[in-house]
Amino acid sequence: MNVVLSRDSQVRAMENTVTNAERYFGQFCSLLASYTRKTARLRDKADQLVKQLMDFANTENPELRATMKDFAEDLAKVQDYRQAEVERLEAKVISPLKLYGAQIKQTRADIKKCKRVQNNEIKQLEKLEKLRQKSPSDRQMISQAETSAQRASVDTNRSTHHLAETVDAFQEQKLKDLRRIFSDFVTIEMVFHAKAVEVYSSAFRTLESYDLERDLQDFRAKMHGTYGHSEARPLTDTSPSLSVPWPLASQSVPSTTAHQGKDEEESEADSVEEIPLEDLKGQQQGRRD
């Protein structure tokens, strides 16, 4: 096998190693950054739910209020852990993967330099060959060209050797980083999920211990309080009052009715029904079975 061809295929193999690393590490980096962003969005959505649960709790009776607040606080805790997950993924997974961009650029520059040196050797050898064919008797010129070709060959050997060492170190670093980065990824995820299990267990107990009967009694007491002594009585009992001049109650009644207008009613009812669950179903299509 010709030594120049051998060196060429050697450089090509090294180039493939770097190109491959570049391609896949780039993909890993971009996908994991996107995964982290989507995790952040999930956290944002859950934070909104926490807020609504808190608001809702404040409109309810003490029993349900306490339960809902505890539950919302647990849900908020999970989001705090999710936030820690996001920050750790950024620092220990995405940042190191991003550093690969710089490292790969440097190795690529080394390969380019090595190729330039290789090409120079080829040029010198071609020049020498031409001289030998055109002026086989010009010993001085041929001797000069031989010296140049020899020098170029020494340069190529040195450069290829240096590149082999660089790529070897690059590969070793790549394997170490790969193991470390994905181990960190798994650890970060594992810690988050373990914390979530812990917090949700507490949330489950909170919901289990909610005393619905007591809450319902509160509600009934409150409704009766609002009714005053308004046990549904037949009109005959109250008919004497009819002879008393009717106060201007009618003025206050329509204003209440107007406040609970039809538009408001309908738009709220719609908001419950307009949830675009179709989107979700669409996303599930094409899922592997």
Q: CB of 203 within 8 A of CB of 74?
A: yes
> In whole angstroms, how far apart are CA 278 and each of 49, 63, 267, 281?
21, 36, 20, 5
Site string for its own copies, 139-168 (x = CB under 8 A): -------x--xx--xx--xx-xx--x--xx
Distance of closest approach, residue 206 Cβ to its own copies, in angstroms: 9
> In whole angstroms, how far apart are CA 241 and each of 131, 220, 225, 248, 249?
131, 28, 22, 15, 14
Regarding 255 and contact with its own copies (CB under 8 A), the answer is no
Regarding 258 and contact with its own copies (CB under 8 A), the answer is no
User: Residue 148 is encoded by which pair of tokens?
Assistant: 């140049």
- Of 24, 135, 138, 261, the one binding its own copies by CB under 8 A: 24
Distance of closest approach, residue 289 Cβ to its own copies, in angstroms: 10
Specify the residue, 92 or 98, whose C-beta has the smaller distance to its own copies. Answer: 98
Distance of closest approach, residue 70 Cβ to its own copies, in angstroms: 11
Residue 91 per-residue DSSP state: I
Distance of closest approach, residue 145 Cβ to its own copies, in angstroms: 10
Neighbours of 279 (CB within 10 A): 9
- Of 64, 93, 114, 117, the one binding its own copies by CB under 8 A: 64
Interaction with its own copies in 192-231: which residues (CB under 8 A)?
Answer: 193-194, 196-197, 200-201, 203-204, 207-208, 210, 212, 215-216, 219-220, 222-223, 226-230
- Of 10, 144, 148, 166, the one binding its own copies by CB under 8 A: 10
Regarding 66 and contact with its own copies (CB under 8 A), the answer is no
Regarding 84 and contact with its own copies (CB under 8 A), the answer is no
Site string for its own copies, 116-135 (x = CB under 8 A): --xx--x--xx-xx--x---
Print the SS3 string covering 195-258. Answer: HHHHHHHHHHHHHHCCCHHHHHHHHHHHHHHHHCCCCCCCHHHHHHHHHCCCCCHHHHHHHHHH
Regarding 138 and contact with its own copies (CB under 8 A), the answer is no
Distance of closest approach, residue 29 Cβ to its own copies, in angstroms: 6
Specify the residue, 140 or 230, whose C-beta has the smaller distance to its own copies. Answer: 230
- Of 91, 186, 221, 261, the one binding its own copies by CB under 8 A: 186
- From CA 5, how far away is CA 156, in angstroms rounded? 12
Interaction with its own copies in 85-114: which residues (CB under 8 A)?
Answer: 86-87, 90, 94, 97-98, 100-101, 104-105, 108
Q: CB of 215 within 8 A of CB of 61?
A: yes
Binding residues for its own copies, total number by CB under 8 A: 154
User: Residue 149 is encoded by which pair of tokens?
Assistant: 């070709």
Angle (CA) 135-137-138 rounded to 5° is 70
- From CA 194, how far away is CA 209, in angstroms rounded? 23
Q: CB of 141 within 8 A of CB of 131?
A: yes
- Of 136, 139, 258, 280, the one binding its own copies by CB under 8 A: 280
- Of 137, 238, 240, 263, the one binding its own copies by CB under 8 A: 238
Q: By C-alpha distance, which of 189, 181, 192, 190 is closest to 29? A: 181
